[in-house]
Structure 1
Amino acid sequence: MKKLILTLVFAAAFTTMSAQTETEKSTKDDYNKWSVELAGGLNKPQRPMTSGYYTTLVSPYVADLGVRYMFNNKFGLKADFGYNSFEGKNSSKDFSTKYYRVDLQAVANLGRIMSFETWTNTIGLLGHAGFGLAQLEDQNSAVKDRMGNFMAGVTGQIKLSNRVSLTGDFTTILNAAQDHTFDAATFRPHQGFQGILFNGTVGLTVYLGKNVKHADWVIDNEDRLDGIDAKIAAIENKMLDTDNDGVADYLDQEPNTAAGALVNTKGVSVDANNNNVPDDVENYIMKNYTSKTDKSPMLSNNELIKSLINGGYVATYFDFNKSTPTNVSTEGIDFILTYLRNNPTASVDIIGHADEIGRSAYNDKLSNARAAKVKSILLKANVDASRLNVIAAGEDNSVDKDSELARKLVRKVTFRIK
Structure 2
Amino acid sequence: MKKKFSFLTLLLSLAATAQDVSTASVQSSAENTAYNKWSVEINGGLTKPITTLSKGYTSSDFNFAHGDLGARYMLNPKFGIKLDFGFDKFSEQDNTPSFSSTYLRTSFQGVVNLGRALNFETFTNSFGLLFHSGLGGSYLTSKNDNVDDYMLNGILGLTGQVLLSNRIALTADLTGILHGKQNANFDATSAAPAKAVGGVIINVTAGLTFYLGKNEKHADWIPEKTISDDLEKRLSLLEKSLLDSDKDGVADLYDLEPNSIAGVAVNTKGQSIDHNQNGVPDELESYLDKTYGKKGDSVPSNNNIEELINAGYVNVYFDSNSSKPTSTSLSGVGFIVKYLQSNPSKSVDVIGYADEIGSSSFNTELSRKRAEAVKEIAVKSGIDASRLNVIANGEDASVDKNSKEARQIVRRVSFKVK
| Category of TM-score, reference length = shorter chain | 0.3 to 0.5
TM-score w.r.t. the length of structure 1 is 0.48
